[in-house]
Chain A
Amino acid sequence: SAVISQKPSRDICQRGTSLTIQCQVDSQVTMMFWYRQQPGQSLTLIATANQGSEATYESGFVIDKFPISRPNLTFSTLTVSNMSPEDSSIYLCSARGTSARTDTQYFGPGTRLTVL
């Protein structure tokens, strides 16, 4: 299995500012993803973080608002830019493609973001 850590675990930010969330996986993985989840709701895929190239964004999410980096096979960052209260949510990093099972996707503990 893969163990995923995220930093920070939570933050309270002012509108108009930006926050960068870091995701570290303890083993090399083929695919990394970023999700958003409102409390009590389902997970919405923001983008697939591609190593060495631009991330692939889902409909409704754009690079200017959610720039993503993935410099290597075990690390990725998601930035939430020019934040507004509507960006308050839990942001989850996820990874797939470890040596154990490629159909299993692992999740980090999430970053709880509150924008005032």
Chain B
Amino acid sequence: GQSLEQPSEVTAVEGAIVQINCTYQTSGFYGLSWYQQHDGGAPTFLSYNALDGLEETGRFSSFLSRSDSYGYLLLQELQMKDSASYFCAVTGFQKLVFGTGTRLLVSP
């Protein structure tokens, strides 16, 4: 089977840096993606790691270690609008399987 574990909730203040971890057990691994979902909204793509290392996209960075079956999403210079749920997702053979999700609460 497949499983992806994330912390259920993370809190931080504006301007801070937060890291959301994801550990996975899966077969047929092609890469690790991250999605953001605001309450009542659709998930939107943030980043994708196919290889080990760090990918940076503006304030967001994502890291992958295939040998450790581990990845994280790093959010810098947090803003109130970053309050949302964040999901890691494994790209397997032809399909995307989502993690348990992390609710990020950013306070002033």
Chain A interface (Cβ within 8 Å of chain B)? 4, 31, 33, 41-45, 48, 92, 94, 96, 101, 103-110
Closest to B101 in A: A42
- Closest beta carbon of chain B to A10's beta carbon, Å: 11
Q: Which of B31, B50, B87, B94 contacts A43 (CB 8 A)?
A: B87
Q: CA of A41 to CA of B44 in the docked complex: distance in angstroms?
A: 16
Given contacts A43-B98, A45-B95, contact A105 B42 (CB under 8 A): no
Check B41–A33 contact: CB distance below 8 A.
no
Q: Which of A42, A104, A109 contacts B98 (CB 8 A)?
A: A42
Whether a CB of chain A sits under 8 angstroms from the CB of B99 is yes
Which chain B residues lie closer than 8 Å to A105 at the CB level? 33, 45, 89, 96
- Closest beta carbon of chain A to B20's beta carbon, Å: 14
Q: CA of A109 to CA of B31 in the docked complex: distance in angstroms?
A: 25
Q: Which of B42, B94, B99, B101 contacts A107 (CB 8 A)?
A: B42
Which chain B residues lie closer than 8 Å to A4 at the CB level? 42
Check B43–A107 contact: CB distance below 8 A.
yes
- Closest beta carbon of chain A to B106's beta carbon, Å: 18
Which chain B residues lie closer than 8 Å to A33 at the CB level? 95-96
Whether a CB of chain A sits under 8 angstroms from the CB of B91 is yes
